[in-house]
Amino acid sequence: MQTVEQLLGESPALEGLAPEHRATMAGCARLHVFPAGERLLREGDPADEFFLIRRGAVAVETEVPGRGAVTLETLEPGELLGWSWLVPPYRSAFGARALEDVHVIVLDGACLRGKCEQDPDLGYALLKVVATVFVRRLEDTRLRLLDLYAGVPHAG
């Protein structure tokens, strides 16, 4: 049976984080399983927690009147879900739903923010790791914005 700290060490999303920072983070972490269909995040709710997915897929979604819940992206094991805990007003911009049984490491956002204020080294290290996630998501999103697969009618 592995400890939360060991599991944090296995998470690809936290790759490069020094062992001592992982140990500090473990103090704000716990394990949880979301059954299929259950919400991990609700749009507009206080974003107290974020998640490192260990098993299962999660749909990041938003409510569109007339279309219901529209999936924006599917996140999978190894990925980080939730970043609103980092920036005021600390409210989830989007929702997230378990597409199957999802095993996660739940991280307490408020707890971690407190620890980062006290330990800037931890803060910087964590920000670097999270920034990598943001950059990758933004690159992917920009690619989708190009709508490359759309057929463009042309003359002749």
Q: Which residues bind another protein (CB under 8 A)?
A: 57, 59, 68, 70-74, 76, 78, 99, 139-141, 143-144, 146-156
CA distances from 116 to 21, 73, 130 (A): 10, 29, 13
Amino acid (1-letter code) at residue 126: L
Residue 89 or residue 142: which is nearer to another protein going by CB?
142
Residue 28 or residue 41: which is nearer to another protein going by CB?
41
Q: How far is the CB of 69 from another protein (least distance, A)?
A: 10
Alpha helices (H) in 3-119, listed in sequence order: 4-10, 19-26, 109-118
Q: How far is the CB of 51 from another protein (least distance, A)?
A: 17
Residue 120 or residue 151: which is nearer to another protein going by CB?
151
Q: How far is the CB of 25 from another protein (least distance, A)?
A: 23
Q: How far is the CB of 7 from another protein (least distance, A)?
A: 19
How many Å apart are CA 126 and CA 74, to the nearest integer?
23
Question: Nearest to residue 113, comparing CAs of 91, 90, 80?
Answer: 90
39: which strand partners? Answer: 97
Residue 103 or residue 113: which is nearer to another protein going by CB?
103
Q: How far is the CB of 62 from another protein (least distance, A)?
A: 12
26 contacts 3 by C-beta, under 8 angstroms: yes
Report angle CA 65, 68, 70 to the nearest 5 degrees. 110
Residue 71 or residue 130: which is nearer to another protein going by CB?
71
